[in-house]
Amino acid sequence: MNSAKPLVGSFVRIQKRDLQSLVDELKAVHDRVVGPREIDSAIVYDDLDHVDQLPIGVIDHQEGGVYRLTHESSDSHFDYVVGPQSLKSFLFPPHETISESFRKDGQWEIQAVETPATRIAVLGPRACDLRGLAIQDKVFLEGPYVDPGYKRRRDALFIVAVNCRRSVATCFCHAMDCGPAVTSHFDLALTEMDECFAVEIGTSAGGVAMDATSWEPMSETEVAQAKEVSVELEESMRNGTSARQMETGGIRELLMDNLEHPRWQEVADRCLSCGNCTMVCPTCFCSSADEVADLSGDHVRRERSWASCFTAEHSYMHSGNVRKTTRSRYRQWLTHKLATWQDQFDSSGCTGCGRCITWCPVGIDLTEEVAAIRGE
């Protein structure tokens, strides 16, 4: 162990066996440490006590409507890509009580619910997930109205990101300028090498955590070798050998000028309106609020839950349902994600993670839909 913690922006290396020292340190400081684990034939986030619980040697194979894992005889810790979960569920929970009302002596008293945030350290987010986090930060933290629950959880989150060194067929982060290299919004960023992990220090808290390990400084040559992992992967993705492609130039005008394109009906004939794409998306933030009363009627909880623009309830206004067809709902989702999101938040709402393609039961591919409307 070194006498001084590594500086923010520096690169250090640890042996693979020393990753456990980092996990132990995170467990000592945080309420929970979660990481990728193989559960029910998928890579999902769950509590992590030991690095042996990581899906070591596991490879994921993804296509439209297809997700499969295979096991190889290797010591690769992170050669799978992304599963159905992102950081969204840790910061914007699927279900949350946001206020409570109590009736006392005929008068109602409303109280905001301010549950202390659980200090969570998450191991494993990729570049597309961190861009999704940045987008959600903009939605929930910027502007005149800040979501207090999101802010408490965000302030308590520690992130150990991982640079991808392979992609799957549904990845297109390169097309959205969201990866594959991790560039921001992390405390530590790991790049897996043959014999060790290269670790970039993102914050002072990350440097403190690394000080519990037997880290060693990296030479300029070693840093360049670590960065080359992401460079080579991006080149292979852009050359079309390992990932989806999507042309984003003028995409807002393309979609908004083709609201009556026949392709909308073609995709609607396949779409099940199940909402899977919105559930797995790292940036979708629609929600609904319901009042839930107890049997006495004197205590009412306001509960917020994830919602989807593919449901009839989401499109209900005072005059009725304004989007009555699957065609109009899919068009709403895609045009908001790729076009009007730019008007609202000055960025795209898509990070190129490909989850919506993989987890669509019928394999609908938004990159194909954009290409079809473009006439390719």
Asked if 92 and 115 touch (Cβ cutoff 8 Å), the reply is: no
The per-residue pLDDT for 316 is 86
The per-residue pLDDT for 57 is 96
Taking the model in full, what pTM does it have? 0.93
The per-residue pLDDT for 313 is 87
Q: Encode pLDDT of 119-133 as tens digits.
A: 999 999 999 999 999
The pLDDT > 70 percentage for the chain reads 99
Q: Mean of the per-residue pLDDT values for the chain?
A: 95
The per-residue pLDDT for 3 is 56
| CA dihedral angle for residue 364, residue 368, residue 372, residue 376, rounded to 10 degrees | -160
The per-residue pLDDT for 2 is 60
The per-residue pLDDT for 303 is 95
Q: Encode pLDDT of 106-120 as tens digits.
A: 899 999 888 888 999
The per-residue pLDDT for 264 is 97
Pair type for strands 42-47 and 32-39? antiparallel
Rounded distance between C-alpha atoms, residue 269 and residue 359, angstroms = 18
Rounded distance between C-alpha atoms, residue 97 and residue 304, angstroms = 6
The per-residue pLDDT for 243 is 81
3-state secondary structure of 224: helix
| Residue in this structure with the two tokens 């993102």, named with its chain if needed | 202
For the record, the structure tokens of 230 come out as: 């992401």
Residue 1 banded pLDDT, cuts 50, 70, 90 = low
The pLDDT > 90 percentage for the chain reads 89
Q: Encode pLDDT of 216-270 as tens digits.
A: 999 999 999 999 999 999 999 999 777 899 999 999 999 999 999 999 999 999 9
Asked if 199 and 5 touch (Cβ cutoff 8 Å), the reply is: no
Q: Where are the domains of the chain?
A: 11-100+107-238, 251-287+307-374
- What values do phi and psi take at 254, rounded to 5? -55, -50
pLDDT, mean of residues 198-210: 97
pLDDT, mean of residues 362-367: 97
The per-residue pLDDT for 23 is 98
Q: How many helices (H) and strands (E) does the chain have?
A: 13, 16
Asked if 334 and 252 touch (Cβ cutoff 8 Å), the reply is: no
For the chain, how long is the longest CA-to-CA vector? Answer: 74
Q: Encode pLDDT of 155-181 as tens digits.
A: 999 999 999 999 999 999 999 999 999
